Amino acid sequence: MSSQGRFAEVYAAAARDPERFWAEAAAEIDWSKPWRRVLDGTRPPFYRWFAGAELNTCFNSVDRHVEAGRGRQNALIYDSPVSQTIARYTFTDLQREVARLAGALARLGVGRGDTVVIYMPMVPQAVFAMLACARLGAIHSVVFGGFAAGELAARIEDCKPKVVLSASCGIEIGRLVEYKPLLDTALTIAKHAPRRCVILQRPQLRAPLVAGRDIDWDEALAGAREHECVPVEATDPLYILYTSGTTGRPKGVVRDNGGHAVALRWSMRNFYGVEPGETFWAASDIGWVVGHSYIVYAPLLNGNATVLYEGKPVGTPDPGAFWRVAAEHDVRVLFTAPTALRAIKREDPGATHMRRYDLRGLRALFLAGERTDPVSLRWARTALGVPVIDHWWQTETGWAITGLCRGVEELPIVDGAAGRAVPGYHVAVLDAAGHEVAAGTVGSLAVKLPLPPGTFLGLWNADAHCLASYYAQFPGYYCTADSGFIDEGYAFVMARTDDVINVAGHRLSTGAMEEVLAAHPDVAECAVWGVRDELKGEVPIGLLVLNANCRRAAPDVVAEAIAAIRDRIGPVAAFKAAAVVKRLPKTRSGKILRGVMRRISNGEPWTMPATIDDPAILDEVAAALKTLGLPLAAS
């Protein structure tokens, strides 16, 4: 495929002179002090962008739009089917709410460089809290609402917040999740004690407050003065976002202020193709990186209205929930996870709910978070009649590594591919020795240093751990821990590197097998992983979730799926065992817990993941795996 055209020119410009390229992009951001140098490479691999410059991220996200005369434009649209609430905030409204909360936090002693933990559901006050911290130059650490007490305690202990902002409850389908008991337990576990906890009392449930420590949200705001924006260094941390670590200690990914603002603002127009004033919706949670980048910061930096959705893709009330929100709020670009799309497709394979809504304003659907199977992508493309674009990035990068830059040039979509390397990223496929492999050959995906602006500074107070985790394996590169290949410029992200299995000396991608299984007309979702085998070393097994309208016997579907693997990949795959389950175990962000299932099926010790959406699913999975004759392990 030809790579000539506008995109090729932009990509080449970023590769040829990255400092000039990103300096030009930085002209779209308001700075209170110019940079000394665009790229500071004095301490590789810990590169820094816009060293010496000063700015305020909240000012760039909110105040400058008000000053530019766009204060009456919608900035935040809160849509909560679980509480039957819709509320809209203009940029002027947002400025007022954020400045007042910043004043309340300042009155509690929060200032530049202090840390604040935000443990809240998907409510507008959570967005106000993030921006209020940025306004003060404080560092926020959002913990996914409802996270287990032990995980919350670990994060509080690691980042030592001066204040914790929380709420009385979250709302799930048919139940309330009480946050305050989880917070109270976490604070008995953690050695660090925050100065104060500010609690938002939701009307669905009021929580008891601890005298001397807890303060009601409204009381904290009472009499607070609106606080101005505090300039910070471009290289100062904006936030810490924790991901689960393999050492038992969560990894605190640190994002800066300057590079983050530049990259995310650039990505909205050039990658997602969204113009200021339009509505953008990232159907995720603010507890995850997608929520940080594309619910809160990037749309506001670009002057867009952003949707904050407190609901599910199905069940609130039906599989048409996403399409209702997109139609009602005139969403021009929607970004969600493949798992959400598969859940909708499973419940509504004929897209009958989708056809109830006028989606003529929707220009594109973007997918990321895990690999998108081509079948689901084609289903969405046919049903919606718009481009459906898979793209690939990580918590550490903060924005897309690969994809298709809709705002630069509309390149062809290749089913199964996660697009092309985005300007600023040099993606390579490496073998175990760190050498680049031939096109079409599966290897470890890595990004040549330096990483572009917007990517992580490192890990919070853990430089050595950061070096070992991301930079030691392939010197000069950032190791993504994903495997895949590049063909004619398009990147195919197949699986995490530990999901590439070795069957009788053949390295095989479980992602490629999942692609074959997902193509079966009765299969809604699937997962494949490797189990130990005395003869072959490893063999793959799989779980299948069938479409809601499937009327065929499960054994027949399993037999056809196994035959399809043999036909498409070959007998070398040794794929001979699969079972049908009602659901797959996933994290709350929708990622399938393949690692846990692999440990269970290999008879290895395992622990219940703190991020699991529903622990009861693992009992069903274990029962299904038992029918395959595996040596199961208990937690």
Residue for token digits 């069903």?
620
Burial of 553 by CB count in 10 Å (0-12 exposed, 13-18 middle, 19+ buried)? exposed
Identify any residues that bridge with 278 across adjacent strands, giving them in sequence order. Answer: none
Average pLDDT over residues 457-466: 96
How far is C-alpha 355 from the geometric centre of its chain's CA atoms? 28
The structural domains of the chain, ordered by start, are: 6-311+391-485 (3.40.50.12780), 504-626 (3.30.300.30)
- At residue 633 the predicted structure's pLDDT band, cuts being 50, 70 and 90, is low
Q: Rounded to an integer, what distance in angstroms lies between the CA atom of residue 532 and that of residue 421?
A: 35
Running DSSP on this structure, what letter comes out for residue 436?
A: B
Q: Is the pLDDT of residue 611 over 90?
A: no
Question: What is the structure's pLDDT at 136?
Answer: 98
Running DSSP on this structure, what letter comes out for residue 587?
A: B
Task: For residue range 524-578, list pLDDT tens digits in order.
Answer: 999 998 898 877 778 899 999 999 999 899 999 999 999 999 888 878 788 989 9
- At residue 2 the predicted structure's pLDDT band, cuts being 50, 70 and 90, is very low
8 A C-beta contact, residue 390 and residue 403: yes
Number of H helices, E strands in the chain: 20, 32
Question: What is the structure's pLDDT at 84?
Answer: 96
Q: Rounded to an integer, what distance in angstroms lies between the CA atom of residue 123 and that of residue 83?
A: 10
Identify any residues that bridge with 171 across adjacent strands, giving them in sequence order. Answer: 176
Task: For residue range 467-502, list pLDDT tens digits in order.
Answer: 999 999 999 999 999 999 999 999 999 877 666 777
Which range (286-295, 450-459, 609-618) has the least confidence? 609-618
Q: Is the pLDDT of residue 4 over 70?
A: no
Is residue 509 within a helix (H) or strand (E), and if so which, with residue range? strand 506-509
Question: What is the structure's pLDDT at 309?
Answer: 98
Average pLDDT over residues 164-191: 95
Task: For residue range 130-164, list pLDDT tens digits in order.
Answer: 999 999 999 999 998 878 888 899 999 999 999 99
- Of the candidates 198, 199, 186, the residue with the CA atom closest to the CA atom of residue 156: 186
8 A C-beta contact, residue 304 and residue 337: no
Q: pTM of the entire structure?
A: 0.87
Q: Is the pLDDT of residue 1 over 50?
A: no
Question: What is the structure's pLDDT at 118?
Answer: 98
Question: What is the structure's pLDDT at 606?
Answer: 81
Residue for token digits 């063999």?
539
- At residue 46 the predicted structure's pLDDT band, cuts being 50, 70 and 90, is very high
Residue 47: CB atoms within 10 A of its CB come to 19
Residue 382: CB atoms within 10 A of its CB come to 10
Task: For residue range 328-343, list pLDDT tens digits in order.
Answer: 999 999 999 988 998 8
Q: Rounded to an integer, what distance in angstroms lies between the CA atom of residue 523 and that of residue 565?
A: 14
- Terminal CA-to-CA distance of the chain, rounded, Å? 49
Question: What is the structure's pLDDT at 247?
Answer: 44
Q: How many CA atoms lie within 13 Å of 106's alpha carbon, on the beta-carbon side?
A: 20
8 A C-beta contact, residue 199 and residue 214: yes
Q: Rounded to an integer, what distance in angstroms lies between the CA atom of residue 593 and that of residue 238?
A: 30
Question: What is the structure's pLDDT at 413?
Answer: 95
Average pLDDT over residues 346-359: 96
Question: What is the structure's pLDDT at 562?
Answer: 93
- Strands (DSSP E) contained in 257-298 are 279-282
Which range (34-38, 105-109, 552-556) has the least confidence? 552-556
Question: What is the structure's pLDDT at 608?
Answer: 82
Question: What is the structure's pLDDT at 631?
Answer: 65
How far is C-alpha 116 from the geometric centre of its chain's CA atoms? 21
Average pLDDT over residues 282-310: 97
% the chain with pLDDT above 70: 96
Q: Rounded to an integer, what distance in angstroms lies between the CA atom of residue 499 and that of residue 469?
A: 17
Question: What is the structure's pLDDT at 511?
Answer: 80
Question: What is the structure's pLDDT at 3?
Answer: 45
Question: What is the structure's pLDDT at 244?
Answer: 66
More confident residue, 405 or 244: 405
- At residue 299 the predicted structure's pLDDT band, cuts being 50, 70 and 90, is very high
Per-chain mean pLDDT for the chain: 93
Q: Rounded to an integer, what distance in angstroms lies between the CA atom of residue 29 and that of residue 294?
A: 17
Q: How far is CA 119 from CA 144, 151, 159, 167, 170, in A?
A: 6, 12, 14, 7, 10
8 A C-beta contact, residue 68 and residue 302: no
More confident residue, 617 or 413: 413
